[in-house]
Structure 1
Amino acid sequence: MLLEILVILALIVLNGVFAMSELALVSSRPARLKSMAAHSRGAALALRLSENPGRFLSTVQIGITAVGVLSGALAGDTLGKRLADYLISGGMDAVWAGRIGVGGAVVAITYFSLIVGELVPKQIALRNPEGVAAKVAPMMTLLSVVAAPVVWFLDRSGRLVLWLLGQRGESENRVTEEEVNVLLAEAEQGGVLEEGERNMISGVMRLSDRTVRALMTPRQEVAFLAIDTPAADLAAAVERIGKNRIPVADAGGNPIGILRVIDLFRQKSLDEPADLRALIRNIPVITDRMEALDLVAVLQKSPDGMALVYDEYGDFEGLVTTDDVLEAITGAEASAMADEPALLTREDGSLLVSGWMPADEFCDRMGISRASAGGYDTVAGLVLHHLGHLAALGEVFTLAGAGLRFEVIDLDGMRIDKVLVTQISPD
């Protein structure tokens, strides 16, 4: 009887190994397995098994089914009968002894099967899925080879049933941006990433979704130096603008290049007459629909890290620099280059938001969908999207699902300058 009990326990443990293997392979992240595969043969085998889930699951089910059948047979016919004989020898009625013997054996084996054969192994697999998968992969690979004919038949049968159910395409294994953000949050909580590192990675992800139009300084905010500025007034004009690289415009207000202030100072230090036209440098010209990542390549090739932005009609739209890209990565809230804060938390908990704050960054900050901004790039655009017309001072609207109330509290001409955002009940 002791031998039979040991055999049943061995079968239960083997069932646990199969259950653990199945969950570990299913839960493993392919990216993690790929990084481990460089120095672990088990991880390489696990990655190969995960690429063919039908074959792997068929192999596991063969093992689990075989173990279950053997355990049931031993429990009812062997262990249950011996327990019944023991009870009969103790004076119990034969009918009741048979029922209690078989029933008791089944209950005991079921209990140990749940604990040792299912729950504990699966908990182990969930705690370290990639590590467990790398350890069990060689055994599962060998089993799949040994049972190849049966595995092939079961795999094809499963595919046939899926085909009949309309599942005829390959499964998609796509990682969404939301899942990446969740992983970044977990990495920060686990101490793998610092808060600043996580924010910068999120900023790079936002950057990939933006166009040049969302990054540039609009034309009306660009300070130009007129090409016909008298030589005697150049120094005063440069000091008034206060930039080390200044766009230069012709008589019609169209940009024709930039002036490096250091070039002007060098010319003056040599006692040469100031010649603005001779100091103008050409910079790249790009479209406002260019993607931000393509812009990075353009700015890297530009000695001045600056580009002029034009729309599809050939009209000048604005100016974009490497500082704009850096601000997009670090976030408008964290940027020290901004003349005014993008978002300010007031004592009552409400938020004072600048209209120029990027809409995607604001939506991420408030935990709302980026679709709330429509096709606009700023918070001012988000407000216009929901109002449906040019805003008037004091206009109010709510995003009921997000529990947010928006109020326009400052206008600069027709431009929305400040918005007050208040948390309200979603109801």
Structure 2
Amino acid sequence: MIWLQAAVVVLLIVLNGMLSMSELAVVSSSKPRLKLLADRGSRGARVALGLIEDPGSFLSTVQIGITLIGVLTGAVGGATLAAGVGEILNHYAWIAPRGEAAAMALVVVTITLLSIVIGELVPKQLALRDPERIAVIVAPVLRWLLRLARPAVRMLNVASRFVLRLAGSMGNNSPSITEEEVRAAINEGARAGVLKQIEKEMLSGVMRLADRRVELIMTELDALTVVDLALPSAAVWRAVAATQHTRLIAVRGDPGHVVGLLQTRDLLGLRLQEKDEDFASILFHPPRVGLDLPATEALERLRNTTAHMLFVVDEFDQVAGIVTVADILKAIIGDLGEANPATPTMCAREAGSWLIDGGMLIDVVSDRLGLVSLPAERNFDSLAGFLLWRLERLPEEGERVRLDGYEFEVVDMDGPRIDKVMVTRLPVAVGLDDDLAGG
């Protein structure tokens, strides 16, 4: 009889472990992975997704099962099993007549140990190792238990909602996944080797794109080929022949009076038709956007224009530059390189130091160095802006700022502009102090 009681207790503990494992597996499962399995025809994955969509009923069912198992384990083990073990112990003269007391202690310790190891720790570790596979297996059983316990579950859900309403926590306004979690997943994927470094940089660039304005990614007017249509047509054609650009900015008289865009393919057609002076017929007028337009919105507008270009205008409605798909791509993955590349904006020097242009985007610097203390809401976009924010004034050459174990030294000023900054990794003991250091 005592062995039957012991077997019942062990069986109850194993059932408790299965419920704990099932609960954690379903809760920890990745919804995208389950959806992928469901699309491939997995019935268990579809059931698991249904349980995740209704966590209140699912968790209530599991809790009912665990509670009932705990009560039954205590009833069988605490009194019945302990009494049987006590009778056996009392047969030994060295412990009689204290066998029942010793049996109670022995049974309690044994059941507690088994409940922790078999009923909690091992099942939960198994669930965390492969949550989706376990969830697919146990989900149909959990759904059957949910149907069986539906009346009790409904009563518990009503009671839970009432308590939550009293606590003022009825609504759940937090997103299921945050931007910070996505960034952390990208970084973790790179560390684990799932993502290559270039893939990590591209994904990080896409994440940053929504925070950038077109002012930061546009090609300024000074870097473009501008043709003045007020000049004789021969002068215009000489400018066209001298450029390597496929798109030209057309002005009339005043360099600030931009009248449209000329494309070399249209100019070639004009020349073949011997209409050398009819530039107005091929003049294209790209949409105009403001400097503050988010880069993601600019990309959406580029998809809707045949010129694949936007004019960026300032507050006086003067064209300050252009934005193309190439500018968007450059903002995501960085410079693609040129025939005669200029000095890199971030040059690695001796171990643990970099020479960086002051105009380099602070997001790029942060990604390369792993900075974590930059404010989420900030009014600067470049490394120079960061230094001005920390110093709260225009710096002088030789002044230093410390942040996250790095020292930023202003090494070159071009008038009021911070031209070059030397960044040095500090020793660990020194890097813990990120206060301002004097020049």
- TM-score normalised to structure 1 length: 0.87
Q: Which amino acid aligns with 1:67?
A: I
Partner of 2:37 in structure 1?
36
Change in 2 beyond 3 A, CA 1:417/1:221: farther
Partner of 2:100 in structure 1?
98
Aligned residue runs from structure 1 range 288-327, under 5 A: 288-327=291-330
Q: Which amino acid aligns with 2:348?
A: T
Distance 2:289 2:260 in 1: 13
Distance 2:164 2:136 in 1: 29
Aligned residue runs from structure 1 range 129-208, under 5 A: 129-170=131-172, 172-208=174-210
Shift of 1:414: 4.6
Distance 1:280 1:177 in 2: 43
Q: Are residues 1:25 and 2:26 paired?
A: yes
**Consecutive unaligned residues in structure 2, runs of 5 or more:** 434-439
Shift of 1:165: 2.9
Q: Which amino acid aligns with 1:32?
A: R
**2:347/2:356 contact within 8 Å kept:** yes
Partner of 2:77 in structure 1?
75
Change in 2 beyond 3 A, CA 1:414/1:402: same
Distance 1:131 1:372 in 2: 38
Distance 2:376 2:18 in 1: 49
Partner of 1:260 in structure 2?
263
Q: Which amino acid aligns with 1:34?
A: K
1:304-331 Cα offsets, whole Å, 9 max, x none, are: 432211124312222212211110111x
Partner of 1:383 in structure 2?
387
User: Identity of counterpart residues, as a percentage?
Assistant: 37
Aligned residue runs from structure 1 range 330-341, under 5 A: 330=333, 332=334, 335-337=336-338, 339-341=342-344
**1:227/1:277 contact within 8 Å kept:** no
Distance 2:377 2:327 in 1: 21
The farther-off stretch of 372-381 and 83-92 is 372-381
The farther-off stretch of 375-384 and 104-113 is 375-384
**2:247/2:263 contact within 8 Å kept:** yes
**1:359/1:370 contact within 8 Å kept:** no
The farther-off stretch of 132-141 and 218-227 is 218-227
The farther-off stretch of 98-107 and 297-306 is 297-306
Partner of 2:378 in structure 1?
374
Change in 2 beyond 3 A, CA 1:64/1:45: same
Partner of 2:248 in structure 1?
246
1:232-273 Cα offsets, whole Å, 9 max, x none, are: 555654566543322222211122223334555666678875
**1:372/1:382 contact within 8 Å kept:** no
The farther-off stretch of 116-125 and 357-366 is 357-366
- TM-score normalised to structure 2 length: 0.85
1:45-66 Cα offsets, whole Å, 9 max, x none, are: 2222222323222211211111
**1:208/1:293 contact within 8 Å kept:** yes
Paired residue secondary structure (1:419): strand
Partner of 2:436 in structure 1?
none
The farther-off stretch of 306-315 and 268-277 is 268-277
Aligned residue runs from structure 1 range 398-413, under 5 A: 398-400=401-403, 403-407=406-410, 409-411=412-414
The farther-off stretch of 29-38 and 93-102 is 29-38
Distance 2:384 2:95 in 1: 86
Q: Which residue of the other structure, out of 83, 86, 90, is the alignment partner of 1:84?
A: 86
Shift of 1:394: 1.4
Paired residue secondary structure (1:121): helix
Q: Are residues 1:287 and 2:290 paired?
A: yes
Matched positions, count: 423
The farther-off stretch of 312-321 and 261-270 is 261-270
Change in 2 beyond 3 A, CA 1:316/1:381: farther
Shift of 1:18: 1.1
Paired residue secondary structure (1:178): helix
**Consecutive unaligned residues in structure 1, runs of 5 or more:** none
The farther-off stretch of 335-344 and 204-213 is 335-344
Q: Are residues 1:12 and 2:16 paired?
A: no
Partner of 1:61 in structure 2?
63
